[in-house]
Structure formats: structure tokens, C-alpha cells
Amino acid sequence: MKLKAINFTDKFTKFTEHWSPRVIAEMNDYQFKLVKVEGEFVWHEHPDTDEVFIVIEGCLNIEFRDGKVALETGEMFVIPKGVEHKPTANSECKIMIVEPKGVVNTGEADSSLTAQNDVWI
């Protein structure tokens, strides 16, 4: 077994693309993914799973059809399964997403922002 801490700062240097989650660890059937975001994402939902957003650096807005949640560095939010949402960030924001293995970033929405799944760094 390899015993080494995962350094978020180091991992974020390994990619530049926005809205393209990168897996850094797995626990049971859950993946921990780092993502750089900027601008607007697409409206989407995940009908079978909750999704956790943890802001590592920056500010993230998560829009809902009836309001929004603003997250800053060090804050997190759990989006319940089946709830339509759209993340946005006015400037680059670095986040961690925790979700089951195999979840596509755009849910069932057809979008050019759909990222390749299960990409490790």
C-alpha cells in the first residue's frame, strides 16, 4: 500500500481545463474529483445521487430554479438527488466534487461541456 497524502495544490497544477473533473481518490464506490470552473455551466440534474460541492479556492454560485446558494473558500453544499442546478463562477474557482463512481458531470443533459469520465491525475 502506498502511503502518501494527496496535495490539492499540486493536483490542481496538473490540468488547466475548466468544467473537466479529475479524480484524485476513491472511497468505496465514491470518487473525489477536483474541478476548475469559470463562467456558466449547464442546467442539469443527477436523478439517482446527491452531489457534494466543496470550494477549495474562490467563489461558486449554484443556481436553482427557485434561488441560489453562494459558496466561498472553505464552504460546502450538498445538492439532493434529482434537483436541477447550474453552477457558475465569475472568476476561476477550484472545487472538489464528491459523488459515486460513474456519474457524468452534466447528468443527462446533452452539452458540449460533458467531460470524459473517470480521468485520474
Q: Say how far apart CA 56 and CA 121 lie, in whole Å.
A: 17
Q: Is residue 119 part of a domain?
A: no
CATH of the domain at 63: 2.60.120.10
Report field, pTM of the whole predicted structure over 0.75: yes
pLDDT tier, 40 (very low <50, low <70, confident <90, very high otherwise): very high
Domain count of the fold of the chain: 1
Each residue's pLDDT tens digit, 87-103: 999 999 999 999 999 88
Q: Report how far residue 7's alpha carbon sits from residue 59's, in angstroms, rounded to the nearest whole number.
A: 20
- Residues of the domain holding 93: 14-100
HEC secondary structure over 39-93: EECCCECCCCCCEEEEEEECEEEEEECCEEEEEECCCEEEECCCCCEEEEEEEEE
Q: Look at residue 61 and tell me if it is in a domain.
A: yes
**65-85 burial string, b = 16+ CB within 10 Å, else e?**
eeeeeebeeeeeeebeeeeeb
Question: Which residues, 6+ apart, have CB-to-CB distance to 116 below 8 Å?
Answer: 20
pLDDT tens digits for range 57-90:
999 999 999 999 999 999 999 999 999 999 999 9
> How would residue 109 be classed by pLDDT, with cut points 50, 70 and 90?
confident
**SS3 for 20?**
coil
Rounded to an integer, the average pLDDT of 24-53 is 96
Instruction: Give domain status of residue 112, yes or no.
Output: no
